[in-house]
Structure 1
Amino acid sequence: MKISVVPSSSNFRNVLPTTDSTGGRRWLYPRSVTGRFTRWRTGVALVLLVALFAGPFVWVDGHPLFLFNVLERRFIFFGVSFWPQDFYLVAFGLVTFIVFVTLFTVVFGRVWCGWACPQTIFMEMVFRKIEVWIEGDYNARKRLDASPWTVEKVAKKSLKHSVFLLISFAISNTFLAYLIGRDQWLTLIADNPNAHIGGLASIWLFTGVFYLVFARLREIVCTTICPYGRLQGVLLDKNSLIVAYDFIRGEPRGKKVRGEEQGVGSTALQNTFYPLPIAPHSEPKGDCIDCKLCVQVCPTGIDIRNGTQLECINCTLCVDACDEVMHKINRPLGLIRMDSQQGIEQGKPFRFTSRILAYSGVLIVLLAILGFLLVSRPALDVTILRAPGQLFQRETGKQVSNLYLVEVMNKTYRPISVRFRLSRSDAKLIFVQPLSTVPAGELTKGMFFINLPEKSIRQNSTPLQVDILVGNQVVKQLETTFLGPVH
């Protein structure tokens, strides 16, 4: 007998899941669920939360593990410093990261959003847990919001939002520590507040933003604001692994009724995906009993049975909810599971397609190039320029001098001794202030004169080469010009 497949809502793609019939905001009350995927997500979230809060305070060999100092244009990734002179590396790294995100999405869909995104981790594993602890389960929260303002409601709402503000304040301080570094952050919070009005204002501004996101916006960040959800729509194909409902096995959905044939719990039926047999002379039904638990647990309010949707963040809560129901009615697990559209429709296992292999090849090449650039990156970055507005000066002994500015960036975590040498034997380099050692991780500036005998000058602009030495090894050679009189 042919089984018809009818989605529960024919216009679900035309209506946002968080809006009501009048177009207003529909507040979501996701139901709590337990299961193997939920336990794994909780473990992953705990590890990531510890890493996130510990990141700016973990130092290795006297320097932070992570730093994103936009004001000073200094960035540290896993202990490796990047300065404005390394912009090409940052740009190339971003391109590599975009390709990685593209490949990851093509293969696994929006798993990042449901398992590793800070927005989801804080919302579902921190703020939502606190909300449930204070206000109760999803039914209790509904009743509380619908009830008039009483002493109990005021007390619960005040407690909840006070805790939300405290956690937002902690997140704000951590975020600021990533931006300015641990030491400056400690100075900011321990010093006289009047001396750090801007920093304190930043903390409270970030606190307000985080509170707004987790207390009010919530799933709107994932469904509307975040651009990654839009990107997902053009990257997924029929071979991508996503959270999917097996409509072939589940439809037509319906409640189990009395009078079902015996043998539903038999081994034969447990190991097949045939529809559940019901009372004689009735149309066979699929495994979906239309309990709507998959909808009730969804943090973005969608019905996964309608198919792939932009709002799905692959959190797998619906998988655990459905597996729990299948276990109770003695049916095989996996009515909702991680699978591809090809796997659902044709039973084909996941395979690496030419598209995935192409993205993988590009990513490997980019990673190889990025690795080479990082390994070959010089420890010193030196810039030499003639002083602006200066021509030349005549010195005693028929010498002509030019003034130069030099900047030396030490990208390592150890001081480096440097020497400067001219390629011409008749040229002389004289520093205005000695520059022999460049401190670790700092930009050092200096000035020096280059003198040339007037008789050796043959043109208005004489090319010169300056060698920079560390020990006896030439680490960099720079070209500059020398201005002088021509008779």
Structure 2
Amino acid sequence: MSDIKEEEIVRGVGGQGQVLDPETYRDSIGTMDQSGKRKWVYPKKPKGKFTNYRNIVSYILLIVYFSIPFIKINGNPLLLINVLDREFFILGQPFYPQDFFILTLGAIASIIFILVFTIAYGRIFCGWICPQTIFMEMIFRKIEYAIEGDRNKQMKLDRQAWNTEKIWKRTLKWSIYITISLIITHFMFMYVVGYKQVFQIISEGPFANPTNFMVMILFTAAFYFVFAWFREQVCTLVCPYGRLQGVLIDKETINVFYDFKRGENRAKWRKGEDRKAAGKGDCIDCHQCVVVCPTGIDIRDGQQLECVNCTACIDACDEVMEKVGLPKGLIRYATENEIEKQIPFKFTARMKGFAIVLALLVGFLGYLLYNRGEMEAKFIKPAGSTFFVRDGKITNTYNYTFLNKTNEKKVVTIKVIEPKNGEITYSASSKITVDRDKITKGTINISFPESEMNLSKQNITIGVYDSNGKLVDSYQTYFEGPFKLQF
């Protein structure tokens, strides 16, 4: 929230401006009264250019959300985060616990991106992309409008006794809410265990999978609670992003702002009146920007924690301005400096610094992903095993483990890289087949001439080669032999 200065926001009362008291201004949450009791928000159904754009963005994201679990790349899920079975797929590429450092860097890059984005564009994410906003405003709220009507009808229905009309409307609405919450939960689980597993759980029934069934019921109940009752309080009381913006945004950040220099002093509209000559601003105090707000705030009071930049107030105000013949944009996307000092938006040094760090991180992350390796190989001596000597050769046994990280089957062979005169005896075929995204295990023996082993424990390097002779991974371990005195 901006500091109150000599250009303070004023509230018009019958055309007379009244400066807000800085000691009491916004000393409570907008959706609660002084006693702590919740004030229910009945937002008017928005309409306009930005609402249409938001609808398009939301529908695209909803299609993406409900489609991703069924999309596969090279036979792998597009996105799967199975923590229980340690199966992770991102863009069809398998990731393993060994690759978590890459995912950690990705998480850091994402956080820096959020910082840069918020510093430049405020809470546009909250109003346009946030799942809470999309599900609430584009699904649950639209169902509410369809069943109970717009703002005034909802308020009337809420006040009236529990008669036949109220019972069937509320029962229908809540039943649909539960159904949609159940659908959202099932699709969320598809991101964890895959759609086939979810369909299998459904077909087997709750008694065959009691734990999974209870977890789904709990998540369904949580979604229903959030979208049927908790609603905007997720954004105002729970989500930390609103608090974060108070640290990140400044006078150069783009946000939804009310142009108080143009709008004040606000006063009711009178046809044919010269408002400028009468000392009145363009705001006609119609409160349409207030009644459409899904978090119940008055954008004219300045930047506030509850504002999610949903643009409903912009559309409502532009519609009124058009009707009374005044210029649009009284409420618009702007920076505080643009409103106060008519300074256009520009990228600050802080924005550029964060953007440079982000670009470096993304570049390094891309390098790690590109050089992640096709295969991971390990050669471990079995516990308690030792060497044996036969026909002038010292032999050690190793258990190998190959992890194929690619989306294609690999046929590999093993060679000793250093020292170069090592011989390998396989427990099976010398050509080892490793299926894609699979682990293959086996045993080999490595032998060296006894005359060439001068140390009781010597480092060796073992290489794994594909069918084209390309080295796909190497592993350094040790080779044991008899103790020899050194003179």
- Normalising by structure 1, we get a TM-score of 0.90
1:442 Cα deviation (Å)? 1.7
In structure 2, the partner of 1:72 is 85
CA distance in 2, matches of 1:403, 1:150: 82
State yes or no: 1:475 paired with 2:472: yes
Counterpart in the other structure of 2:72: 59
Shift of 1:425: 5.0
Aligned to 1:442, which of 414, 438, 441? 438
Matched letter for residue 281 of structure 2: G
Q: Does the 8 A contact of 1:4 with 1:252 survive in 2? A: no
Q: Which residue of 2 aligns with 1:365?
A: 360
Structure 1 residue 451, shift from structure 2 partner = 3.7
Contact 1:113 1:120 in 2 (8 A): yes
1:282-320, Cα deviation, whole Å (9 max, x unpaired): xx1111111111111111111111111111111000000
In 2, Cα distance between equivalents of 1:405 and 1:311: 60
Which residue matches 1:270? none
Q: What is the DSSP-based 3-state SS (H/G/I as helix, E as strand, rest coil) of the residue aligned with 2:26?
A: helix
1:457–1:486 contact (8 Å) kept in structure 2: no
Q: 2:399 aligns with which of 405, 410, 424?
A: 405
Question: CA offsets, 1:196-235, max 9 Å, x none?
Answer: 3332223222211211111121111111211222211111
| Mapped partners of 1:136, 1:76: distance in 2 | 43
- State the match for 2:266 in structure 1: 253
1:421 aligns with 2:415: yes
Q: Distance in 2 between matches of 1:411 and 1:7?
A: 63
- Aligned partners of 2:465 and 2:472 also within 8 Å: yes
2:150 alignment partner, one of 137, 153, 170: 137
1:235-274 CA deviation, whole Å, 9 max, x = no partner?
Answer: 111111100000000111111346724xxxxxxxxxxxxx
Q: Structure 1 stretch 336-345 or stretch 142-151: which is displaced more?
A: 142-151
Q: 21-30 or 249-258, which moves further after superposition?
A: 249-258
Aligned counterpart in structure 1 of residue 341 of structure 2, from 346, 351, 354: 346
Q: CA deviation at 1:399?
A: 5.0
What SS does structure 1 have at the residue aligned with 2:53?
A: helix
| Aligned equivalents of 2:223, 2:478: Cα separation in 1 | 54
Q: Distance in 2 between matches of 1:370 and 1:130?
A: 42
Unaligned runs of 5+ in 1: 262-274, 279-283
1:231-270 alignment, distance < 5 Å: 231-257=244-270, 260-261=273-274
Distance 1:121 1:230 in 2: 21
In structure 2, what residue type is equivalent to 1:168? S
Q: What is residue 10 of structure 2 aligned with on the other side?
A: 6
Q: Which residue of 2 aligns with 1:174?
A: 187
- Report matched runs for 1:95-134 at 5 Å: 95-134=108-147
Q: Which residue does 1:16 correspond to in 2?
A: 29
Whole-angstrom distance in 1 between the partners of 2:428 and 2:162? 73
Q: Are the equivalent residues in 1 in contact too, given 2:232–2:294 (CA < 8 A)? A: yes
CA distance in 1, matches of 2:28, 2:437: 54
Q: Cα distance, 1:444 vs. partner?
A: 2.4
Counterpart of 2:174, as a letter, is H
**443-452 or 36-45, which moves further after superposition?**
443-452
Partner residue of 2:483? 486
Measure how far apart 1:443 and its partner are: 2.4
TM-score, normalisation: structure 2: 0.90
| Residue in structure 2 matching 1:84, options 78, 97, 105 | 97
Distance in 2 (CA, whole Å) between partners of 1:334 and 1:190 is: 55
Instruction: Flag structure 2 segments of 5+ consecutive residues without an equivalent.
Output: 1-5, 13-19
1:31 counterpart residue number: 44
Q: Using the alignment, how far apart are the partners of 1:477 and 1:3 within structure 2?
A: 69
- Identity over aligned pairs, percent: 41
In the alignment, which residue of structure 2 is the partner of 1:218? 231
8 A contact 2:74–2:92 mirrored in 1: no
**Aligned equivalent of 2:299, options 284, 299, 304:** 304
> Which amino acid in structure 2 is aligned with residue 286 of structure 1?
G
- Secondary structure class of the residue paired with 1:195: coil
Question: Counterpart of 1:268?
Answer: none
Partners in 2 of 1:219 and 1:192 — Cα distance? 35
Query: 2:169 aligned with 1:191, yes or no?
Result: no
CA contact (8 A) 1:3 1:251 kept: no
Separation (CA, whole Å) in 2 of partners of 1:137 and 1:484: 85
CA distance in 2, matches of 1:95, 1:228: 16
1:163 aligns with 2:176: yes
- Paired with 1:400 and 1:187, the residues of 2 have a C-alpha distance of 54
Give 1:390's aligned residue.
384
Given that 1:75 and 1:82 are in contact with CA atoms closer than 8 Å, whether structure 2 keeps it comes out as yes
1:355 CA displacement: 1.5
DSSP 3-state at the match of 2:209: helix
Partner of 1:332: 327
For the aligned residue pairs, the C-alpha RMSD in angstroms reads 2.1
Instruction: Rate the CA distance shift 1:420–1:286 in 2: closer, same or farther, 3 A.
Output: same
CA contact (8 A) 1:244 1:338 kept: yes
